[in-house]
A and B are shown apart, each in its own frame.
Chain A
């Protein structure tokens, strides 16, 4: 699998998980005084939002929605909802009315897509950016309460090629195993743990979707930066210990611990 393609595909997802986007000032603060205050953590989390696209006339569409709610009263409970009003030509007053109609039906709108420019603003949800379409969500046609989706088994990503400088490997759904080395200037970001069977010379960011139990292991420890669950250390902070040795890296409270790998 060509590497650049991987990094290209992952580029749009990088924005959602930025364990490193802490202002420079704060970074220094954290690094020099690790025990003063609990650090601010940034984590990504993704939910599947339900997109409601009303069709004209809106009044009839609301009646259909009522029918659906009667069949399945719990359908909208706890679901983030995005309202797609493209093509309806609603102005600000219509939009406010529609949102309050939905609110009366216990549907809380998180964002509005496709509204005319300038029609959103105070009192109305914002226009979300960066959405990606997913398959249609099945509407319940029998009065069955919806169950929470069973958690998908974490899948691991295995790479046979070395990760070259400038490449980003992003896999938020599980572990990453790399049979080769991670070069200086390369970046590996995993939701779970990272296992490197060569040298780690670039950045390894594990537990990126909020997993303090994630670990990083490598056969040769020469990293530029390590991060687990949003807490990071640069090569400078780590000092010369274990350099060039096999190592495993884990989180102990708020500290990154580097241990020998026997």
Chain B
């Protein structure tokens, strides 16, 4: 039975697309068949982060409108054959998504894959509510700063009321991924600590992704961070997250990029 997971946050720029790509790739690397779906119609990014932007022919809107079959629109990843992307349309806007069309696409995706990961757009409007509507579980992506935390709290309220699962009276499973975390700066009080965020949001923690240049590097080359450099700190955090999603118990740590002794001794060249 397929699991539909929505990656959402409320606020923009906190790492939803990066997280979608990283989780999707890590699940595929663990042998699952995965589809990642971009719901950010009009501002699509997932194709770039996945490195598939030059192979887009049909998109989600074409499938929703019945202009293309799902198989025609799905783009299979060149590096992992059990990972597919359903891109969003860049030329349309969120109003082009119909309730029935999205329901039909999600139904079809459920039959084909083990995991369907929906990359939600920012905001609480149509695109975001449709992305979460059919989900079985949600990953809420939050940065350790107050505006991101409050927006996530708002999104959790919507997950508990506007989704099909909530309307059936069931409980939506929700997990928190804290991105761009810097333990040193949190200790200095420059950013919220993990416990502060957890206290406000009161949902279980799935992973802490450390602030790292690897994330930017991976998205610039169009490769999910878990595939681009699986040994990097953010990749290890995402891989742990996937193991927890699959039911394993993994102790919670903030992975860091190890520096060699020489690197520690010579931090920076003097001016």
* Residues of chain A contacted by B161 (CB below 8 angstroms): 2-5, 8
Q: Are A165 and B154 in contact (CB under 8 A)?
A: yes
One digit per residue, 1 when the CB lies within 8 angstroms of any chain A CB and 0 when it does not, for chain B 154-184 equals 1011101110001100000000000000000
A180 contacts chain B at the CB level, 8 A cutoff: yes
* Residues of chain A contacted by B38 (CB below 8 angstroms): none
Q: Are A165 and B202 in contact (CB under 8 A)?
A: no
* Residues of chain B contacted by A166 (CB below 8 angstroms): 124, 153-154, 157-158
Tell me whether chain A's interface is mostly helix, strand or loop, or mixed. loop
With contacts A164-B157, A164-B160, A165-B154 taken as known, whether A2 is within 8 angstroms of B166 at the C-beta atoms is: yes
A183 contacts chain B at the CB level, 8 A cutoff: yes
A209 contacts chain B at the CB level, 8 A cutoff: no
In the assembled complex, the Cα of A138 lies from the Cα of B156 at a distance in Å of 46
B200 contacts chain A at the CB level, 8 A cutoff: yes
Query: Shortest beta-carbon distance, A168 to chain B, in Å?
Result: 11
One digit per residue, 1 when the CB lies within 8 angstroms of any chain A CB and 0 when it does not, for chain B 2-28 equals 000000000000000000000000000
Interface centre among B154, B166, B167 (most CB of A within 10 A): B154
Chain B: residues with Cβ within 8 Å of the partner, total of 17
A184 contacts chain B at the CB level, 8 A cutoff: yes
B76 contacts chain A at the CB level, 8 A cutoff: no
In the assembled complex, the Cα of A190 lies from the Cα of B195 at a distance in Å of 31
* Residues of chain A contacted by B199 (CB below 8 angstroms): 199
A73 contacts chain B at the CB level, 8 A cutoff: no
* Residues of chain A contacted by B44 (CB below 8 angstroms): none
CB closest chain-A residue, reference B200: A183
With contacts A162-B202, A164-B156 taken as known, whether A183 is within 8 angstroms of B150 at the C-beta atoms is: yes
CB closest chain-B residue, reference A162: B202
* Residues of chain A contacted by B158 (CB below 8 angstroms): 4, 166
With contacts A181-B202, A183-B200 taken as known, whether A165 is within 8 angstroms of B153 at the C-beta atoms is: yes
CB closest chain-A residue, reference B202: A162
In the assembled complex, the Cα of A181 lies from the Cα of B201 at a distance in Å of 9
In the assembled complex, the Cα of A8 lies from the Cα of B167 at a distance in Å of 13
* Residues of chain B contacted by A180 (CB below 8 angstroms): 202
Query: Shortest beta-carbon distance, B154 to chain A, in Å?
Result: 4
Interface residues of A (CB under 8 A from B): 2-5, 8, 161-162, 164-167, 180-181, 183-185, 199, 201
What are some 30 contacts across the A-B interface (CB < 8 A)?
A2-B160, A2-B161, A2-B167, A3-B160, A3-B161, A4-B157, A4-B158, A4-B160, A4-B161, A4-B162, A161-B160, A162-B202, A164-B154, A164-B156, A164-B160, A165-B154, A165-B157, A166-B124, A166-B153, A166-B154, A166-B157, A167-B157, A180-B202, A181-B200, A183-B150, A183-B153, A184-B146, A184-B200, A185-B150, A185-B154
Considering the complex of A and B, which 5 residue pairs feature the smallest CB-CB distances, nearest first? Answer: A4-B161, A164-B157, A2-B161, A165-B153, A165-B154
Interface residues of B (CB under 8 A from A): 124, 146, 150-151, 153-154, 156-158, 160-162, 166-167, 199-200, 202
